[in-house]
Amino acid sequence: MPGIEGLPGFYAIAAADPARRAVVDTDGSVTTYGELLALVNRVSHGLRARGAARGDVVAGVLPNGRDQVVMLLATGQIGLHYVPVNWHLTPAEIGYILGDCDALCVATVPAYAGAVRQVAAEGKVTDVAALAEGQPETAPAGRSAGAVMWYTSGTTGFPKGVQRGLPDAEPEAVVPLYTWFLGEVCDLEPGDGVHLVTSPMYHSSPCAHSMFALHLGHTLVIAPRFEPETVLELIERHRVTNAMMVPTMFHRMLQLPPEVRARYDVSSLAQVIHTAAACPVAVKQGIMDWWGPVLYEYYGSTESTIAFAVKPHDWLARPGTVGRPAPGFEARILDDEGEEQPPGTPGMIYVKSGSARFEYRKDPGKTAASMRGEWYAPGDIGYLDEDGFLFLCDRRTDLIISGGVNIYPAEIEAALLEHPAVADVAVIGVPDEEWGHTVVALVQPAKGAEPGPELTAGLLAHCAPRIARFKHPKVIEYRRELPRTPTGKLSRSRVREEYLASR
Which CATH number is 429's domain given?
Answer: 3.30.300.30
Residues of the domain holding 159: 11-184
Question: For residue 217, which of 255, 181, 179, 191 has the smallest C-alpha distance?
Answer: 191
**Which residue among 139, 166, 184 closes a domain?**
184
Give the integer Cα–Cα distance in Å for 361 and 102.
10
Q: Give residue 166's identity as a one-letter amino acid code.
A: L
Q: Are 109 and 175 in contact (CB under 8 A)?
A: no
Query: What tens digit of pLDDT does each residue of 196-252 get?
Result: 999 999 989 999 999 999 999 999 999 999 999 999 999 999 999 999 998 878 988
Question: For residue 244, which of 278, 210, 277, 287 has the smallest C-alpha distance?
Answer: 210
pLDDT of residue 169 exceeding 90? yes
Per-residue exposure over 299-338, b if at least 16 CB sit within 10 Å of its own CB, e if not: bbbbbbbbbbbbbbebbeeeebbbbbbbebbebbbbeeee
Answer yes or no: is 260 within a domain.
no
pTM of this structure = 0.83
Answer yes or no: is 160 within a domain.
yes
Give the integer Cα–Cα distance in Å for 152 and 154.
6
**Which residue among 184, 200, 227 closes a domain?**
184
Check residue 371 and give its pLDDT: 85
List the strands of the sheet with 161-163, edge to edge.
150-151, 161-163, 359-360
Which of the given ranges, 36-45, 424-433, 435-444, has the highest pLDDT on average?
36-45
Q: Are 243 and 198 in contact (CB under 8 A)?
A: yes
Could you tell me what percentage of the chain is helix, strand and coil, using 3-state DSSP and rounding each to the nearest 5?
A: 35, 25, 40
DSSP sequence for 184-233: HHH---SSS-EEEE-S-TTSHHHHHHHHHHHHTTPEEEE-SS--HHHHHH
Answer yes or no: is 307 within a domain.
no
For the chain, the residue count is 503
Distances (CA, A) of 373 to 105, 369, 370, 402: 36, 10, 10, 32
Check residue 156 and give its pLDDT: 42
Answer yes or no: is 342 within a domain.
no
Query: What tens digit of pLDDT does each residue of 110-159 get?
Result: 999 999 999 998 899 999 999 999 999 999 999 999 999 999 754 345 67
Answer yes or no: is 345 within a domain.
no
Q: How many CB atoms lie under 10 A from the CB of residue 371?
A: 14
With vertex at residue 468, the alpha carbon angle to CA 434 and CA 431, rounded to the nearest 5 degrees, is 25
Check residue 491 and give its pLDDT: 79
Confidence category of residue 488, pLDDT binned at 50, 70, 90: low
Q: Are 174 and 163 in contact (CB under 8 A)?
A: no
Question: For residue 245, which of 202, 277, 212 has the smallest C-alpha distance?
Answer: 277
Answer yes or no: is 193 within a domain.
no
pLDDT of residue 435 exceeding 80? no
Question: For residue 167, which of 355, 328, 346, 345 has the smallest C-alpha distance?
Answer: 355
Answer yes or no: is 367 within a domain.
no
Query: What tens digit of pLDDT does each residue of 61-80 get?
Result: 999 999 999 999 999 999 99
Which CATH number is 59's domain given?
Answer: 3.40.50.12780
Residue with the bigger pLDDT between 266 and 369: it is 266
Q: Are 101 and 149 in contact (CB under 8 A)?
A: yes
- Count: domains in the chain: 2
Answer yes or no: is 275 within a domain.
no
**Which residue among 184, 217, 248 closes a domain?**
184
DSSP 8-state symbol, 144: B
Confidence category of residue 303, pLDDT binned at 50, 70, 90: confident
Query: What tens digit of pLDDT does each residue of 459-477 get?
Result: 999 999 988 788 899 999 9
